[in-house]
Structure 1
């Protein structure tokens, strides 16, 4: 189980694994040779997110951003660390992957959490489908906690429009996130025992829409090797997530910035 203290070690392990892959594949093909089966870009990034779902404060941690593909079939991208496409072309991207989810809640994050118990970060199994026509992209995915950390199932549906402008690519869109009962109970519910220990009122939750969100993504190709990336998601909690006594702020903001170097 991963915690905040374990993140730097986890990121370092990811970096070492990526470095090994790059060392094995980074030799550029000779002139006239067949194009490489590999596409590899790696670099430092910083990730900003609420301390826990519904928190009013945020935490910041360094990460390794990577965009690795092999034969347009297998990939590792960002926190989607191992995946495969069933379809991957200019119109459809369909597949599945394993994803690190850096969402947790520890009692030391806020005095109000005393008695609620810790929730550890997890790994999710994710299935996704994305359809692009002209400048418009529709996407959906479902992500299930597979480590037994009580983080349940999250399903997302998004639509966004993209516009290239010279070396820049801008994407704007919006979407909705639904979560199952286990996820809602873990992060927003308060049972009798937790209520007695924390002083918060008992609060029953149900599966439903967790948030409606707005996404902004920008990419700048600095040259043939270097690319700067940034993303911002502003979400508004809804339903039980918004009404929970654990929730301190209904608006939740997540951001990422990275600089990657393309080896091939």
Structure 2
């Protein structure tokens, strides 16, 4: 079903047109643009390129730039997948498509290995989805290098399908453990002493809730144009964090997927 990156990038929506289980070797190339906040909670925005390549084989294994190495299964309205990829990152300085100078002194959250598991089940026209992502420990820095977990629950389906393509919609909520909330939205006393922010303690709980729309338009039998809008509202300790300038976050993305 839908998998949205913690940065609110609409990657899951943009790949909804890809088959869940390949009957033959399949390749997909994707390219596009996304406009999104520089970090979760930021009032600054950035337009960034979207690039992905993905290989699927009949046994269910796949390899891609975005999702890494994994295995997927789909039959009779049930889907399941496992993957090993890389986590999100956040720089404490402005650099190309990442980071913000506003975060100076917070320390950078570096990319690390990430394990993911996802399942979906069709109930009539509606699909229930759940995904769990576990980012591995990066280093001994408790503020930025801890392992953490993020759970997403979603409910979605197709609203309209016809000559002008397919319109899909979903509702989702995300929940983080103590380490996730502390890493992305907390401010320790050490971070407060070297940044502009006051200390902010966090606990495990709801991170955000939101909705997404995705329009898929077939350009030819092997190529689709996909445009997606995702709106998430930060909740709880994430919303109350001094890092958060804007609680309601919107991401707009468009991408062409070519399969062969």
Q: TM-score range by the shorter chain?
A: 0.7 to 0.9
Partner of 2:203: 206
State the distance in 2 between where 1:45 and 1:164 align: 23
Aligned pair 1:239/2:226, yes or no?
no
Aligned pair 1:80/2:80, yes or no?
no
SS of corresponding position for 1:222: strand
Partner of 1:179: 176
Provide structure 1 residue ranges, at least 5 long, that are not aligned to the other structure: 1-34
Match of 2:124 among 125, 129, 134: 134
Partner of 1:24: none
Deviation at 1:76, TM superposition (A): 4.0
Partner of 2:153: 157
Deviation at 1:77, TM superposition (A): 5.8
* Maintained 8 Å contact 2:91/2:100: no
- The normalised TM-score by structure 1 is 0.78
SS of corresponding position for 1:125: strand
> Cα gap change, 1:47/1:98 in structure 2, threshold over 3 Å: closer, same or farther?
farther
Misfit runs of 4+, over 4 Å: none
Deviation at 1:192, TM superposition (A): 1.3
- 1:209-220 equivalent positions in 2, closer than 5 A: 209-220=206-217
Q: Considering only CA atoms, is the larger Rg found in Structure 1 or Structure 2?
A: 1
Aligned pair 1:222/2:183, yes or no?
no
Which segment drifts farther, 138-147 or 102-111? 102-111
Partner of 2:4: none
Aligned pair 1:261/2:258, yes or no?
yes
Partner of 1:26: none
Aligned pair 1:48/2:48, yes or no?
no
Aligned length: 228
Aligned pair 1:125/2:115, yes or no?
yes
SS of corresponding position for 1:195: helix
The Cα RMSD (Å) is 2.2
Partner of 2:57: 70
Deviation at 1:184, TM superposition (A): 1.0
SS of corresponding position for 2:233: strand
Deviation at 1:134, TM superposition (A): 3.0
* Maintained 8 Å contact 1:52/1:103: no
